[in-house]
A = this chain, B = another copy of it.
Amino acid sequence: MKTLFARAAACILIVSGVAFAEPLPLPGKIVDFRSVDGQRILAESRFWSAGYGRLSAVFETQKTQSYCGVASMVMALNALGAPAPVTPPYGPYAVFTQDNILDARTDAIRPRDTILMRGMTLDQLGGIASLYPVDVAVHHAGDETVESFRTAAVKRLASGDAVIIVNFLRTALDDEHGGGHFSPLGAYDEKEDRFLMLDVARYKYPPAWVKTADLFAAMNTADPDNEGKTRGFAIISRRAAAPNAPAQ
């Protein structure tokens, strides 16, 4: 009932061509990061999340409604301080953007116009990220358990040397709007067993604390665009040795 009302309210607001710059309400089991509870969980979680500072500092909105994977990769590479291209409009400063991360090399994995129309799969995200001087490990949820996901993600979050990008089905998380989606995880709270999802669709949902079991269930869904393989997560980490090849 609450959801129906929220949806009706959103429609009424949108009819006028103007609506409040306020994301949609989250399902009850998800905690809005901006709320009093959301901020309390952040304070509780800090010893588990050395990477929070670096990732929140580069939080950005996906450039189009199909660019969730692109935005998530840009956040990961910038948070890890990977060698970045110097391109307009930011030269002489080096930074990854959703405009300079895709090129002829990445087109061989997934052409830019296809990403613009339909996004990408978890394996394609892993393939594109692997073209940059970082270490990439792709994990399909069907090959994992809630426990193995939690253990792997918490360990890397705590170290601060890796970014976890999750690929999940929004409707399986009880979100009303959307299909497959990517976003990076910013922190973990042991007390509530929740991950902070820095949702790159910021025009739609705010950052939120999601229960590990709920998140895993939403990752453990078949992706029809990926030969029915399950969604899952990618661990993108700083390469130990100095990079030998330029990023672009």
Residues in chain A within 8 A of chain B (CB atoms): 13-14, 16-24, 33-35, 38-39, 42-43, 46, 52-54, 56-61, 63-65, 77-78, 80-86, 89-90, 92-96, 202-204, 206-207, 246-248
Q: Are B53 and A34 in contact (CB under 8 A)?
A: yes
| Copies of this chain per assembly | 2
Q: Are A94 and B18 in contact (CB under 8 A)?
A: yes
Q: Beyond A39-B52, A43-B43: 19 further Cβ-contacts under 8 Å? A: A14-B92, A17-B246, A18-B83, A18-B85, A19-B86, A19-B93, A19-B94, A21-B83, A21-B96, A22-B81, A24-B93, A34-B54, A34-B57, A42-B46, A42-B53, A58-B202, A60-B60, A63-B89, A64-B89
Bound-state Cα–Cα, A218 to B26, Å: 41
A200: min CB distance to chain B, Å: 12
Q: Are B77 and A21 in contact (CB under 8 A)?
A: yes
Q: Which chain B residues lie closer than 8 Å to A54 at the CB level?
A: 34
Q: Are B18 and A247 in contact (CB under 8 A)?
A: yes
A116: min CB distance to chain B, Å: 10
Q: Are B59 and A56 in contact (CB under 8 A)?
A: yes
Q: Are B207 and A57 in contact (CB under 8 A)?
A: yes
Closest to A177 in B: B93
Bound-state Cα–Cα, A178 to B163, Å: 31
Find the residue from A24, A52, A78 having the highest chain B CB count within 10 A. Answer: A78
Q: Are B20 and A38 in contact (CB under 8 A)?
A: no
Closest to A58 in B: B202
Q: Are B206 and A20 in contact (CB under 8 A)?
A: no
